[in-house]
Structure 1
Amino acid sequence: MASPAVPEWLVAWCRKHLGSVPSDVLLVSEHMSEVYGLRLADGREVAVKARPDQSGREATCVEVQRFLALNGYPAAAPVTGVTVTGGRAIHAEEWRPGGELSRDDSPAAAVRYATGLARLVGLAAGVEVGGSAPGAVEPPLPNPEWTRWDHDEPGPWPRNPHHDGRDESLVPAYVVDAARRVRERLAGTWLPRVLGHADWESQNIRWDGDRLHAVHDWDSLAWLPEAAIAGAASGAFGSYAEPTLTPVESSAAFLDAYQKERRGFSDEEIEVAWAASLWLALHNARGEALHRQPPVALIAVREQVDERLRLAGA
């Protein structure tokens, strides 16, 4: 019999795809996806991740994660591909515990986070996207809803099952106005797209001193202009327990450090980066308002919105 923490579908999946069944539970987490840290009966330790199937983007995320791990990036290496069972996209990867969370959103911390992201984007450029060569993957589309400013829905926001149908009058006018302006700014760019991590928050990253120990949440891979990848991360990297917006000076330090690692951005890219830095916080501020949650992102946006809009040319 399965432990109460291990549903029967997971026991059956492990037996079929891993050749063993769970004997101990190391971790259970349910947020946007289900994550089970398991010790199997044969002694192996794995993480099994399940999330709603999104028409194939999960397979790309896992294959890019596999490529990065094989090339020395601190990501857990997948040990299976993606299978779809009962509407869930499921895969298993190495169990990679340890490392420390950081609460630091200072300019000095920004440099460390930017360097880690720049290395990721540089390595991921080795993955062929949309081609026919062996190992090529499809773009991981649609992008996560918190970076999906290129949607074709009416209004500034894409569809989101967590928010749709709620009272939009709860969202402050300054959030809605800024979202319209940022989306218009981002929709007007035609920069080339790259693979990158679109949820570069401290809660998804573990450190060993100043060295990256592990990057998690590869479901959040995105296909966006590089400046947008870097910009979104520059605003989000300080989010520890609740999503927020890092100080403007820390975002500036992040973007400077990222460019030193990768390449200098054009004036257009700088504006795109600042626009993207604000979009995630607007997404989170809207969610706080709709769900009547404590105003963490709402306050940060209210304090920084004018300066970030100016830097974004929006």
Structure 2
Amino acid sequence: MDPVLLARWCEQHLGSPPVEEMFSSGHLSAVIGLRLADDREVVVKVRPDSPRIAACVEVQRRLFQAGYPCPRPLTGAEPFGEDVATAEAYVPGGAVLPSADHAAEAFAEAFARLIRLAPRPAEVSTLDPVPSWADWNHTADGLWPYPGEDPEVNLNEVTGPEWIDEAGRRARDRLRDSESEAVIGHCDWLAGNLRWSADTLLVVHDWDSLIAESEAVLVGFAAALYSTVNADELATVEDTERFLDAYCRARGREFSADELKRSWAAGVWTRAYDAKYQHSVGQPVTSLTENEARERLRRIGTGSQRS
């Protein structure tokens, strides 16, 4: 990160230069925590430009105005050299997980509130392209989309494992069997993106992960990705069941049989995509096991060929 460019950007868009870097991190974005000369603490995010970033910031702004616990956006999507940057208020503190015996309800209720308060897709500009781990309906050749986090990798050119490809294919085919009206939601409902004060949600981060998708699919992603006892361990099959039950209670209506199957299929897709990527780049496959894939597929009415 060019400190001169960063200082100039802060002065231009925040009205004050940085005097201290509190932290820096990032995977798909460079994330820098700064204390400004006027004593404000802010977070600046820099990433390659995309038309979806402006829409993500607008949704985050509306959610903040509606009282949802997200950082207050301080800028829109503004040029940063050849990239684009945004700034938001820094929200420190909080625990990574709520209490273990209330985790499913806490994560599900927070997700239901987000869906309820978010604007309709037609009210904001495009949220395309969809992040790769949620892009089951991509139009490129092959089963798997190109990884946005690593565009040099073509998952379709990597052999096996057969059970991961099978899980992804069966989940995608089930998702394509039906469709419903899109809503806006968060497609990366990982424990690392939320912070809690006891069982009360303190803040949700990573608002670049907003997409327009059917409610059942969004809930399926969330139910498969959250954690209950350890932020490094994704939801078990039983955890996913508890999340889906808790979400329906929070929304005040049950999912139909078709919606429930689409939720399970969405969870299989995103976990299988991550597993395929891990295998493709030589990492341990931790996002899904063959036995768990078989059990999740059974819940969408399409079991493994070897079950």
Query: Could you tell me which residue of structure 1 aligns to residue 17 of structure 2?
Result: 21
2:105 to 108, 111, 115: 111
In structure 2, the partner of 1:146 is 133
TM-score (norm 1): 0.89
Tell me how far 1:155 sits from its aligned partner.
1.5
C-alpha distance in structure 2 between counterparts of 1:209 and 1:103, whole Å: 6
Corresponding residue number in structure 1 for 2:89: 94
- The DSSP-based 3-state class of the residue aligned with 2:146 is coil
Whether the 8 Å contact between 2:196 and 2:203 is mirrored in structure 1 is yes
Deviation at 1:196, TM superposition (A): 0.3
- Give 2:305's aligned residue: none
Shift of 1:84: 2.8
- One-letter identity of the residue aligned with 2:38: D
8 Å Cα contact 1:34-1:50 kept in structure 2: yes
Secondary structure in structure 1 of the residue aligned to 2:289: helix
Deviation string 1:261-307 (CA, Å, 9 cap, x unpaired) is 1122111100100001111111111121111112312xx33121112
Deviating more after overlay: 106-115 vs 69-78: 106-115
RMSD: 2.0
State which of 39, 50, 60 in structure 1 corresponds to 2:55: 60
Match of 2:268 among 241, 258, 278: 278
1:7 corresponds to which of 3, 13, 18: 3
Tell whether 2:191 aligns with 1:202.
Answer: yes
Unaligned runs of 5+ in 1: 131-135
Query: Hey, what does 1:133 align to over in structure 2?
Result: none
In 2, the alpha carbon distance for the partners of 1:111 and 1:50 equals 34
Written as runs of structure 1 = structure 2, the 5 A alignment for 1:154-193 is 154-161=141-148, 162=150, 164-165=153-154, 168-193=157-182
Matches within 5 A, 1:187-266: 187-238=176-227, 242=232, 245-262=234-251, 263-266=253-256
AA of the residue aligned to 1:249? E
Post-superposition shift, 1:128? 4.0
Partner of 1:309: 297
Q: TM-score, normalised by structure 2?
A: 0.91
Deviation at 1:245, TM superposition (A): 3.8
Q: Percent identity?
A: 40
Question: 1:259 and 1:129 mapped to 2: Cα distance?
Answer: 22
Shift of 1:167: 8.3
2:21 corresponds to 1:33: no
CA distance in 1, matches of 2:98, 2:286: 15
| Runs of 4 or more above 6 Å deviation | none
